């Protein structure tokens, strides 16, 4: 599921709560598989969030900094590492599909029908690139995602940032 079209100024938890995906998870209609057994332990499928998200049975979020003991700090670290996968996905999209790197798709002074057409086109482009991205990943296309392109860890556990980070301009 992909939800696009929210305002950047809105917080992630509000956007997610108002999304189709958020509603489907909340009412248990999204078709999440039953828990999987990993090393003899049944583990449910979950969504990863940050501190701003409300507590849900299907959502993992970090412990508050004021509550951290060693185990909770390790959980927060591992959750942060898992969420890096999401950051990499958006980074790959921005690096490979230049439409995501444009500062603005709207031209000031244009009429409202052009703005609406541009917004609708942009939403369709985003949905199409996400589908193409998933297709290329599923078919192990080494040209699309060469070695070293995404963040990874070396043998000592040290983070090595992916090459996509040098291709994407960040706001600010």
Task: Identify the pLDDT of residue 11.
Answer: 85
66-90: b (≥16 Cβ within 10 Å) or e: eeeeeeeeeebeebeeebbeeebbe
Per-residue model confidence as pLDDT tens for the chain (172 residues): 777 767 667 888 888 888 888 899 889 898 888 899 999 999 999 999 888 999 888 899 999 888 799 999 999 998 988 888 888 888 888 888 877 665 544 444 555 555 556 666 777 888 888 888 888 888 877 788 888 888 888 888 888 888 888 887 655 4
CB 164 within 8 A of CB 92: yes
Task: Identify the pLDDT of residue 90.
Answer: 82
> What is the pTM assigned to this prediction?
0.67
Residues 6+ positions from 115 with CB-CB distance below 8 Å: 106
Q: How many CB atoms lie within 10 A of CB 140?
A: 8
Domains in the chain: boundaries: 1-61, 84-172
CB 88 within 8 A of CB 150: yes
Task: Identify the pLDDT of residue 122.
Answer: 75
């Amino acid at each position: 599921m992909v939800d696009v079209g929210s305002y950047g100024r809105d917080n992630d938890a509000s956007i997610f709560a108002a999304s189709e995906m958020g509603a489907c998870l909340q009412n248990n209609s999204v078709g999440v598989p039953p828990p999987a057994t990993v090393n003899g332990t049944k583990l449910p499928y979950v969504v990863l969030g940050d501190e701003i998200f409300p507590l849900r049975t299907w959502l993992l979020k970090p412990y508050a900094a004021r509550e951290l003991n060693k185990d909770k700090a390790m959980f927060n670290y591992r959750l942060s590492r898992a969420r890096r996968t999401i950051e990499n996905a958006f980074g790959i999209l921005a690096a490979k599909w230049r439409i995501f790197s444009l500062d603005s798709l709207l031209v000031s002074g244009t009429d409202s029908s052009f703005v609406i057409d541009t917004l609708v086109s942009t939403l369709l482009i985003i949905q199409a690139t996400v589908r193409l991205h998933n297709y290329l990943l599923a078919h192990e296309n080494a040209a699309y995602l060469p070695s070293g392109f995404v963040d990874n860890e070396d043998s000592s556990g040290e983070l090595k940032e992916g090459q996509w980070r040098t291709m994407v301009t960040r706001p600010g």
